[in-house]
Amino acid sequence: MAERSFAKEVQQLRVSEGEVFRGEGILAVTKALLQSGVSYVGGYQGAPISHLMDVLSDAQEILGELNVHFEASASEASAAAMLAASVNYPLRGAVTWKSTVGTNVASDALANVASSGVMGGALVIVGEDYGEGSSIMQERSHAFAMKSQLWLLDPRPNLSSIVETVEHAFQLSEASNTPVMLELRIRACHVYGSFESKKNIRPSFTLADAMENPTRDYSRVVLPPSNFVHEIEKVENRWPAAVEFIKAHKLNEFFGGHQGDVGIIVQGGLYNTLIRALELLGLADAFGETDIPIYCLNVTYPLIDGEVKGFCLDKRAVLMIEEGQPEFIEQVVNTILRNADIQTKVVGKAMLPKAGEYTGQIVGEGLRQFFGQYAPKFLEHTPDAPVQSLSQEDKAAVTATVPMRPAGFCTGCPERPVFSAMKLVQKEIGDFHVSCDIGCHLFSILPPFDIGNTTMGYGLGWAGASALNADATQRTVSVMGDGGFWHNGLTSGVGNAVFNKTDNVLVIVDNGYSAATGGQDILSSRAFNKTKSTNNPIAKAVRGLGVEWLKEVHTYDIGEMKKTLKEAMTTATKGPKVIIAQAECMLNRQRREKPLRAKAIKDGKRVVRPRFGVDAETCTGDHSCIRLSGCPSLTIRDNPDPLRDDPVAWVNNDCVGCGVCGENAHAAILCPSFFRADIVYNPSVWDKTVSRVRRVIIGFLQSGRERQRSKYLFGDT
Amino acid sequence: MDKARAIKIAVTAIGGQGGGVLANWIGRLGEDNGFISQMTSVPGVAQRTGATVYYIEWFPLSAAQATGKDPVLALMPVPGDVDIVIAAELMEAGRAILRGFISPQTTLIASSHRDYAISEKSGLGDGRQRTGSIIEAAEKASKAFIVADMAAAAAEANAAISAVLFGALAGSGALPVERARFEDQIIKMGRAVEQNLHGFSLGFDLSQEQASDIVEPENAASGARDSSLSVTPLLERMQKEFPNVAHFYIREGLKRTVDFQDVRYAGAYLDRLKDILDIDRNHDGERRDWRLTQAVAKHLALWMTYEDSIRVADLKTRKARFESIRKDIRVEDRQIANVHEFLHPRVEEFCDILPVGAAQFILNNVTCRKLIGVLLGKGKRIPTTKLRGFLPLYALSSLRFMRRSSFRFKLESEHIAEWLKAITDAARNDYDLAIEVAQLQRLIKGYGDTHERGLKNYKMIMDFLKHYAASADAIRQLREAALKDEEGAALRATIKKFATAPQIAA
């Protein structure tokens, strides 16, 4: 079960024809798939399409009613390979993942399905994780579309356009026998809006039909001589067919007037940003009405030569608004125009930044510069740039004050103690090289842990340290999550290490979910899952690959964690060493347990809830505990002691009672200030009696002391 | 061209604060009240405690119907074009200012509470940022600035901070929707409705009051009760012998030393301080506000009330502590809450409270040391609210009578004497230097390794002081460097920097 439930929202998928659908972008995409008569869907989670996977997972009942098969694929490669079903059969299918990282993983299968070509519409929905909030390398999916010759759609970011584009994508795919990629930027995935819905369609040709009546076409298999034919097909048949379809169905749009000798070419996904920037310049209204001619590329690959030429022919200059680099579209526009001997100036990265997200402000600045040089009349009535109401000094003071907020482990996260232990071991045996992976555990590279050298990709943590396998006095440590382990790490990491006889250490963080992407279930998840096979232990898989030195440790036991890690680093035993650090993801555990606990308390059952605290009187304000933990609920407040200047540590009410701060206090011999309070709800008669006896005796002794102290009152307390 | 425009609202929050809930409420509020409403966010790693922005646009439905066209709404805020910014924490208001979201058209609603960033929390001393510049800039940059402690209001109502902020938004009047329609959204969501409506109402009122002052914590008011007979002589001595300006710290120092040991010990505190006062007087202290006496009054009290296990046991078993824990963890009156301490006494802490001879014997005898180490064992969890935990701690705390003959007492007394001498020596040439030396006590804090590290840094600086003619500024820089990192790298580098100063002839 994932972090966010869409059980309620997916009911929107049933809204009937003509009704208004309301919801998030990804939910709308799911509805569009159903309206398109899709037979199968699959994918691998990751922002910004994690929720799409969650929606599909929560919508399995509805999918079932429509005969749609859903797979939570093991990786993007598995998902891409699913599209093979559309090669021989008239089956529509869609797969989804985070891009560009997922597209990297999927490339092998994508290249093959693109070579074979498809009979049924095949759609790849990529969540483009670029710009603000992104956690991955800044690259473009565009390059993948070009290399495999998949058509790339980049619709205007409103639900109606997105839904329409999904429907067109299947038709385009079938018309050109080519898989199609639909690119959705992060905000478009999460935009809440509405559109008028159509009927869900049940596929007329089913998966069972395909299985029971298999057909094969030798010419579709990627092997000589077919593969050579495929390349020719791509340029001679499929490309022209795509161009014809795109033109005929007007997938690209023309907006604005015909006035003037300048125009703007924009990626569909940036259209709203462009209109807002024009509106702020006084050149468009809120409905996008403008005198400036705009050519909106809802299909960014391939470009339609005729449309580009027609748009540019009468213009002195066009502004090309294309996010990311290299500037593939700008290059092609130039090639088209120069080949046709059209001398329109194409201005793109010359006036817009070469790298980074194109925000409203950045596009606005680019427009000003472009009009300033090529059409100053458009700037005659524009309002001035917004006034800076703050002086440079004020701004500098704020800049110096506002702290960075790096992402970090959640309150009570079971991964934190792994790195606390690692820090403690480093203090004893010296620093070691740490190869990181993808997942929440990568937050170890940030303060307060500052642990980790590189990250090479999902499941590639151990492979990332494989070269460092020489005869040395210090071993390396690699980290991998359970998500990464099943995605790729099993073979690329563990298999590779066993085969190459590594002598180094791997820590697998086994928290029971693909936690970083939103807590989806994986093979080793402990929870029962109606539609998936869970409870397949990692240890069994690791042993099966031939690892002999294997330890399983409960992460919250920092002492044990530290001991095990130190043993792995120093043991005379040669060969790969694997530590499986286990404890359930706290975010998911709380989501599971909190309602149960609340219900139990309400039902009058005896419940004990632990939480931690720090004594302000004995805390001296050194904050070692914070440097070893970084838990959001372990924070600071004013020192109540008027003689002390440094703030004291304290545990706020978000504490979930995981116990790491107490364990740290013990393992690092920090200070006597930590305490755990076990709060008892609905105490038993025994609880009450014992507690009363204790209170009376302790109260008596305390009162004695109080009386003594009351002889020494200074009159102000 | 049509003149209608969207209302633009940004919510800036820290991941995990529930900014998404607030953004959803605002989005649906528009949708239900005559607007085309669009809401979006950037979930991802920012969700895990990073800073994040939710963005909502409302476009009047009537204007759209009049033209028969759909508005084109943006998915991210443009600097200088945001009507309402809601910051769920004060520094996030600052970040919104830096991003240019606050302009003369902006109503800024911010919670004044602080959610400290890791860089602020993890300092070895006080790493907190001051917030004055944020408040000042927010007032200057915005059309209206509504700031109040929404987190405190949320705690009071046991509501989500989002509910309080939603109330503040309603109270600000920045949106053309009446209060009851806001409340509809909370009811519609159906989670913790009663608490959230209460929180909403508190936020609404805070906003209407335009509460804009941040309350700085005040020191406890004095004079509620008269002092006891037994401490009166101490206070009289303070009144008679020490200048008024130093009374605040001395009074605290007396309280602390009496609480730590007894009246006689507080007398010793005054004796030691008296010597410093004399020196202060000789160096024109009156004109200098008796700053040296004040500094020593403060730090001497802290040093004389060092943390040994008797002290810790005493503090842990007090009635007042039991009460403050219950308040802190928010348990109801009769609710049972069992407290367990995480204690890890080592041989050193054990020897601290032994008589000097016994302690020295143990510390110098490897076998004995090991044996006691084994007996003390690993970290312990002591249940203080149960008799088997309370009684041993209570017994330990009554060993106060032995303290004067203890090993640690002797050690600390020597350190204090040495420190006071260094202050006296420094005062001869440089008054400010003496104050800086007095403040070095701040480095010595904590327990176990932390304490040893602090003491080591302190000794390094004292050593430097012996060998070089240091300026007050140099010592201040050394003290700050010592609080930069645990490994002492900054301190070593700074010492190296100053080690070129003229050496004092041996």
Q: How confident is the model at residue B44 (pLDDT cuts 50, 70, 90)?
A: low
Please tell me which residue, B218 or A192, carries the higher pLDDT value: A192
Beta bridge partners of A581: A509, A553
The pLDDT, as a whole number, for residue B211 is 44
Q: In the A/B pair of chains, how many CB contacts fall below 8 A?
A: 409
**Shortest Cα distance, chain B CAs vs residue A311, angstroms:** 23
Q: What is the pLDDT of residues A460-486, one digit of tens each?
A: 999 999 999 999 999 999 999 999 999
DSSP A350: T
The pLDDT, as a whole number, for residue B228 is 80
pLDDT over threshold 50, residue A303: yes
Number of C-alpha atoms within 13 angstroms, CB side, residue B396? 23
- For the packed helices B193-208 and B179-189, what is the interaxial angle rounded to 10 degrees? 150
The pLDDT, as a whole number, for residue B502 is 62
Number of C-alpha atoms within 13 angstroms, CB side, residue A234? 23
The pLDDT, as a whole number, for residue B43 is 67
| Pairing mode of beta strands A648-651, A634-637 | antiparallel
Task: Report the C-alpha gap between A300 and A183 in whole angstroms.
Answer: 10
**Cβ B4 vs Cβ B58: under 8 Å:** no
The pLDDT, as a whole number, for residue A579 is 98
The pLDDT, as a whole number, for residue A653 is 85
pLDDT over threshold 90, residue B322: yes
Contacting residues for B364 by C-beta, under 8 A, at least 6 apart: none
Q: What ipTM was predicted for this assembly?
A: 0.92
Residues B6, A715: C-beta atoms closer than 8 Å: no
pLDDT over threshold 80, residue A66: yes
Which candidate from A287, A672, A703 shows the least CB-CB separation from B72? A287
The pLDDT, as a whole number, for residue B389 is 95
Residues A665, B321: C-beta atoms closer than 8 Å: no
Please report, rounded to a whole number, the percentage of residues in chain A having pLDDT higher than 90. Answer: 81
What average pLDDT score do residues A209-227 get? 95
Tokens of A503: 């002598």
**Other CB atoms within 10 A of residue A660 CB:** 26
The end-to-end CA distance of chain B, in Å, is 87
- Nearest residue of B to residue A697 by CA position? B387
Residues of chain B positioned with their CB less than 8 A from the CB of A420: none
Going by C-alpha positions, the residue among A604, A586, A558, A571 that lies closest to residue A425 is A558
The pLDDT, as a whole number, for residue B376 is 87
Task: Report the C-alpha gap between A152 and A165 in whole angstroms.
Answer: 11
pLDDT over threshold 90, residue A711: no
Q: What are the phi and psi torsion angles at B73 (to 5°)?
A: -105, 145
Burial category of B480 from C-beta neighbours within 10 Å (exposed 0-12, middle 13-18, buried 19 and up):
middle
Task: Report the C-alpha gap between A644 and A632 in whole angstroms.
Answer: 24
**Cβ B87 vs Cβ B93: under 8 Å:** yes
**Cβ B456 vs Cβ B492: under 8 Å:** no
Task: Report the C-alpha gap between A169 and A270 in whole angstroms.
Answer: 19
DSSP B402: G
pLDDT over threshold 80, residue A348: yes
What average pLDDT score do residues A165-193 get? 96
The pLDDT, as a whole number, for residue A664 is 86
Task: Report the C-alpha gap between A62 and A39 in whole angstroms.
Answer: 13
**Shortest Cα distance, chain B CAs vs residue A534, angstroms:** 26
Burial A466-484 (b: 16+ CB within 10 A, else e): bebbeeeeebbbbbbbbbb
Residues of chain B positioned with their CB less than 8 A from the CB of A670: 344, 446-450
pLDDT over threshold 60, residue A54: yes
Residues of chain B positioned with their CB less than 8 A from the CB of A159: none
Chain Cα centroid distance, residue B116: 9
Task: Report the C-alpha gap between A296 and B246 in whole angstroms.
Answer: 75
Which candidate from B16, B129, B298 shows the least CB-CB separation from A632? B16
pLDDT over threshold 80, residue B500: no
Task: Report the C-alpha gap between B393 and B341 in whole angstroms.
Answer: 11
Going by C-alpha positions, the residue among A387, A304, A111 that lies closest to residue A222 is A111
Tokens of A536: 């397949």
Residue to mutate among A130, A134, A160, A190, with most B CBs inside 10 A, is: A190
Residues of chain A positioned with their CB less than 8 A from the CB of B4: 285-286
Going by C-alpha positions, the residue among A53, A301, A293, A278 that lies closest to residue A154 is A301
Residues B222, A275: C-beta atoms closer than 8 Å: no
Which candidate from B48, B141, B227 shows the least CB-CB separation from A714? B227
The pLDDT, as a whole number, for residue B427 is 93
The pLDDT, as a whole number, for residue A441 is 94
Which candidate from A135, A157, A622 shows the least CB-CB separation from B75? A157
The end-to-end CA distance of chain A, in Å, is 53
Residues B133, A400: C-beta atoms closer than 8 Å: yes
- CA-CA-CA-CA torsion sign (A536, A537, A539, A540): negative
Going by C-alpha positions, the residue among B308, B42, B492, B49 that lies closest to residue A587 is B49
Task: Report the C-alpha gap between A538 and A545 in whole angstroms.
Answer: 11
Q: Which amino acid is at A476?
A: T
Task: Report the C-alpha gap between A573 and A577 in whole angstroms.
Answer: 9
Q: Which amino acid is at A255?
A: F
Q: How confident is the model at residue A519 (pLDDT cuts 50, 70, 90)?
A: confident
**Other CB atoms within 10 A of residue B407 CB:** 21
Residues of chain B positioned with their CB less than 8 A from the CB of A286: 2, 4-6, 59, 63, 71-72
What average pLDDT score do residues A638-650 get? 92
Residues A157, B52: C-beta atoms closer than 8 Å: no
Residues of chain A positioned with their CB less than 8 A from the CB of B260: none
Which candidate from A276, A290, A398 shows the least CB-CB separation from B74? A276
Which candidate from B74, B120, B227 shows the least CB-CB separation from A715? B227
Residues B335, A680: C-beta atoms closer than 8 Å: yes
The pLDDT, as a whole number, for residue A596 is 93
Using left for φ > 0, alpha for ψ between -120 and 50, and beta otherwise, residue B149 falls in beta
Q: What is the pLDDT of residues A398-419, one digit of tens each?
A: 999 999 888 889 899 999 999 9
Which candidate from A359, A623, A644 shows the least CB-CB separation from B121? A623
Contacting residues for A708 by C-beta, under 8 A, at least 6 apart: none
The pLDDT, as a whole number, for residue A289 is 95
Which candidate from A48, A409, A646 shows the least CB-CB separation from B125? A646
The pLDDT, as a whole number, for residue A715 is 73
Residues B384, A394: C-beta atoms closer than 8 Å: no
Residues A389, B104: C-beta atoms closer than 8 Å: yes
Tokens of A485: 């382990």
Tokens of A297: 């590329």
What average pLDDT score do residues B382-408 get? 95
Residues A638, B217: C-beta atoms closer than 8 Å: yes
The radius of gyration computed from the CA coordinates of chain A, to the nearest angstrom, equals 30
Residues of chain B positioned with their CB less than 8 A from the CB of A711: 228-230
The radius of gyration computed from the CA coordinates of chain B, to the nearest angstrom, equals 30
Chain Cα centroid distance, residue B366: 41
pLDDT over threshold 80, residue B218: no
Residues A386, B322: C-beta atoms closer than 8 Å: no
- Nearest residue of B to residue A675 by CA position? B341
Helix, strand and coil percent figures for chain A, each rounded to 5: 40, 15, 40
Q: How confident is the model at residue B487 (pLDDT cuts 50, 70, 90)?
A: confident
Residues of chain B positioned with their CB less than 8 A from the CB of A714: 227-228, 231, 235, 251, 254-255
Q: What are the phi and psi torsion angles at A407 (to 5°)?
A: -65, 155
Tokens of B74: 């943006």
Beta bridge partners of B38: B57
**Cβ B336 vs Cβ A691: under 8 Å:** yes
Task: Report the C-alpha gap between B86 and B106 in whole angstroms.
Answer: 10
The pLDDT, as a whole number, for residue B48 is 63
**Cβ A185 vs Cβ A99: under 8 Å:** no
Q: How confident is the model at residue A327 (pLDDT cuts 50, 70, 90)?
A: very high
Residues B117, A678: C-beta atoms closer than 8 Å: no
The pLDDT, as a whole number, for residue B222 is 40
Q: Please provide the size of chain B in residues.
A: 506
**Other CB atoms within 10 A of residue B403 CB:** 18
**Cβ B200 vs Cβ B163: under 8 Å:** yes
Residues B75, A191: C-beta atoms closer than 8 Å: yes
Q: What is the pLDDT of residues B305-314, one digit of tens each?
A: 999 999 999 9
The pLDDT, as a whole number, for residue A343 is 96
What mean pLDDT is reported for chain B?
Answer: 91
Q: Which amino acid is at B160?
A: A
The pLDDT, as a whole number, for residue B46 is 54
Residues B137, A289: C-beta atoms closer than 8 Å: no
- For the packed helices A101-116 and A226-233, what is the interaxial angle rounded to 10 degrees? 100
What mean pLDDT is reported for chain A?
Answer: 94
- Nearest residue of A to residue B68 by CA position? A287
Task: Report the C-alpha gap between A322 and A345 in whole angstroms.
Answer: 16
Q: Which amino acid is at A641?
A: D
Residues A187, B41: C-beta atoms closer than 8 Å: yes
pLDDT over threshold 60, residue B162: yes
Residues B219, A406: C-beta atoms closer than 8 Å: no
The pLDDT, as a whole number, for residue A587 is 87
Q: What is the pLDDT of residues A279-291, one digit of tens each?
A: 999 999 999 999 9
Tokens of A265: 């070419």
pLDDT over threshold 70, residue B45: no
Chain Cα centroid distance, residue B101: 29
Alpha helix ranges (H) inside A433-537:
482-484, 496-499
Residues of chain B positioned with their CB less than 8 A from the CB of A359: 76, 78
Longest dimension (CA), chain B: 95
Q: What is the pLDDT of residues A363-373, one digit of tens each?
A: 999 999 999 99
Which candidate from B44, B229, B343 shows the least CB-CB separation from A672? B343
Task: Report the C-alpha gap between A485 and A580 in whole angstroms.
Answer: 11
Going by C-alpha positions, the residue among B144, B134, B84, B136 that lies closest to residue B113 is B134
Task: Report the C-alpha gap between A485 and A479 in whole angstroms.
Answer: 10
pTM of this prediction?
0.91
Residues B4, A621: C-beta atoms closer than 8 Å: no
The pLDDT, as a whole number, for residue A1 is 54
pLDDT over threshold 80, residue A639: yes
**Shortest Cα distance, chain A CAs vs residue B255, angstroms:** 7
The pLDDT, as a whole number, for residue B3 is 83
- For the packed helices A328-339 and A305-312, what is the interaxial angle rounded to 10 degrees? 80
Task: Report the C-alpha gap between B8 and B85 in whole angstroms.
Answer: 9
**Shortest Cα distance, chain A CAs vs residue B428, angstroms:** 26
pLDDT over threshold 60, residue A376: yes
**Cβ A662 vs Cβ A676: under 8 Å:** yes
Q: What are the phi and psi torsion angles at A684 (to 5°)?
A: -80, 170
Going by C-alpha positions, the residue among A620, A586, A538 that lies closest to residue A417 is A586
